[in-house]
């Protein structure tokens, strides 16, 4: 365990699943960030992704890999493949046909691994893109991708409380683009991405949350991954990095501008394997 000077923050080693962007491209548009007419470089994406991968390894985390498949250019966004809590896995069901086949690949990975109890989502469920575990509960997003009925399915499958939140701005179409879990009971989020009612729920549950400004949210600063101390986030999110430092966290800057052309960043690339 590492401790930041003058704070009680501590990193705990995590296990992550990632998918190299070997076949990354923007060939279709399923969110406002994706413009197939814009030039993308798979090579740049691979280099940027590798540095984030190596950052996690350097922080002492155990990073597993899933084999990227051709014709699935968004497969690099491993967070969407499943939700894993208490050694149980609910494999995703994607909203868009362009990503539908990723579910089978994740299902196979988990079955082959053999250490998890594996289920398959019946309703549209984009995994950790929309379901974030925090302090024993699951925050659940809907509005653009995951079906509201998937929230009930999650509650039943994991036997954990599920708190439904509604996303209202298409730029922040997955919960993990608008909210990041920092520690047990601690989050940061961009209020305007949520309905008024959901903003109320968040304010009540997390009165001390870091609230992001639009500029940081727009560079996907909330698509961040915390190990309790180190928070890896897009390096362009300088406002959030300063706020994190004030709270005793260590911001770790990442450059994933190539993947942002597909509407994803640090957290999207990482599925946490819990238990």
- Residue ranges binding ligand ARG (CB under 6 A): 30-31, 34, 74, 77, 79-80, 99, 129, 174, 176-177, 262-264, 268
Work out how close the CB of 86 gets to ligand ARG at its nearest, in angstroms, rounded to a whole number. Answer: 21
Q: Which is nearer to ligand ARG, 11 or 260 (CB)?
A: 260
Report the C-alpha gap between 221 and 56 in whole angstroms: 17
Cα first-last separation, the chain:
18
Work out how close the CB of 225 gets to ligand ARG at its nearest, in angstroms, rounded to a whole number. Answer: 11
Q: Encoding tokens for residue 118?
A: 């594996």
**Triad 82, 264, 105: Cα angle to 5°:** 35
**Paired strand residues for 125:** 93
Q: Which is nearer to ligand ARG, 9 or 180 (CB)?
A: 180
Q: Which is nearer to ligand ARG, 9 or 174 (CB)?
A: 174
Please write down the HEC assignment for all residues of 113-129: HCCCEEEECCCCECHHH
Work out how close the CB of 273 gets to ligand ARG at its nearest, in angstroms, rounded to a whole number. Answer: 16
Work out how close the CB of 127 gets to ligand ARG at its nearest, in angstroms, rounded to a whole number. Answer: 7
Q: Which is nearer to ligand ARG, 136 or 170 (CB)?
A: 170
Report the C-alpha gap between 200 and 223 in whole angstroms: 22
List the catalytic residues.
174, 268
């Amino acid at each position: 365990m590492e401790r930041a000077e003058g704070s009680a923050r501590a990193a705990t080693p995590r296990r992550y699943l990632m998918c190299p962007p070997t076949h990354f491209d923007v060939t279709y548009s399923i969110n406002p960030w994706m413009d197939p007419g814009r030039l993308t470089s798979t090579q740049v994406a691979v280099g940027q992704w590798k540095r984030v991968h190596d950052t996690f390894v350097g922080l002492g985390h155990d990073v597993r890999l899933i084999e990227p498949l051709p014709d699935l250019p968004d497969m690099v966004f491993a967070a969407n493949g499943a939700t894993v809590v208490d050694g149980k896995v609910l494999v995703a069901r994607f909203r868009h046909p362009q990503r539908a086949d990723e579910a089978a690949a994740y299902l196979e990975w988990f079955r082959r691994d053999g250490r998890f109890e594996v289920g398959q989502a019946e309703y549209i469920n984009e995994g950790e893109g929309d379901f974030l575990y925090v302090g024993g509960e699951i925050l659940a997003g809907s509005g653009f991708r995951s079906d509201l009925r998937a929230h009930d399915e999650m509650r039943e499958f994991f036997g954990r409380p599920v708190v439904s939140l509604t996303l209202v701005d298409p730029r922040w179409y997955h919960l993990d683009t608008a909210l990041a879990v920092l520690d047990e009971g601690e989050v940061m989020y961009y209020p305007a991405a949520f309905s008024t009612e959901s903003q109320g729920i968040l304010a009540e549950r997390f009165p001390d949350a870091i609230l992001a400004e639009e500029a940081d949210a727009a560079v996907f600063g909330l698509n961040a991954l915390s190990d309790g101390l180190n928070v890896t986030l897009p390096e362009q999110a300088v406002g959030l990095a300063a706020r994190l430092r004030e709270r005793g966290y260590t911001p770790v800057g990442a450059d994933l501008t190539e993947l942002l052309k597909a509407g994803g960043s640090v957290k999207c690339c990482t599925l946490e394997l819990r238990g």
